Amino acid sequence: MRKFIQRLLFGTLRRQLIIGVALVHAVMMALFVWDLTVRQQAMLLDRQTEYATALAQSIATSSSGWLAARDYYGLQEIITSQKRYPELLFAMTLDMQGRIVAHSDTALLNKFVSDLPDAETVADESHFFILNHTSDLVDVVTPSVLAGTQVGWVRVGLGQKVISARLEAVTRDGILYAIAAIIIGSLLAWFMGTRLTRRLYGIQQVTDAVQQGNRTLRAPSEGLDEAATLAQGFNAMLDNLSLR
Predicted confidence band of residue 25 (pLDDT cuts 50, 70, 90): confident
Q: Which residues contact 54 (CB under 8 A, 6 or more apart)?
A: none
Contact 231, 199 (CB under 8 A): yes
Beta strands, E only, 110-231? 129-133, 138-146, 149-158
Among residues 80, 45, 73, the alpha carbon closest in space to that of 59 is found at 80
Could you tell me which residues are beta bridge partners of residue 144? 152
Among residues 176, 185, 156, the alpha carbon closest in space to that of 86 is found at 156
Cα gap 4→1, rounded to integer Å = 5
Contact 116, 143 (CB under 8 A): no
Predicted confidence band of residue 91 (pLDDT cuts 50, 70, 90): very high
Cα gap 55→46, rounded to integer Å = 14
Give residue-wise pLDDT tens across range 29-51: 788 878 877 887 788 888 888 88
DSSP H helical ranges for 69-123: 72-80
Is residue 15 classed as helix, strand or coil in its secondary structure? helix
Question: Looking at residue 111, what is its pLDDT?
Answer: 92
**153 CB burial (10 A radius; 0-12, 13-18, 19+):** buried
Give residue-wise pLDDT tens across range 189-204: 778 777 777 777 777 7
Residues in the chain: 244
Predicted confidence band of residue 11 (pLDDT cuts 50, 70, 90): low
Q: Are strands 100-103 and 88-94 parallel, antiparallel or unpaired?
A: antiparallel
Predicted confidence band of residue 227 (pLDDT cuts 50, 70, 90): low
Contact 131, 118 (CB under 8 A): no
Cα gap 88→153, rounded to integer Å = 17
Taking the whole predicted model, whether its pTM rises above 0.95 is answered as no
Q: Are strands 100-103 and 129-133 parallel, antiparallel or unpaired?
A: unpaired
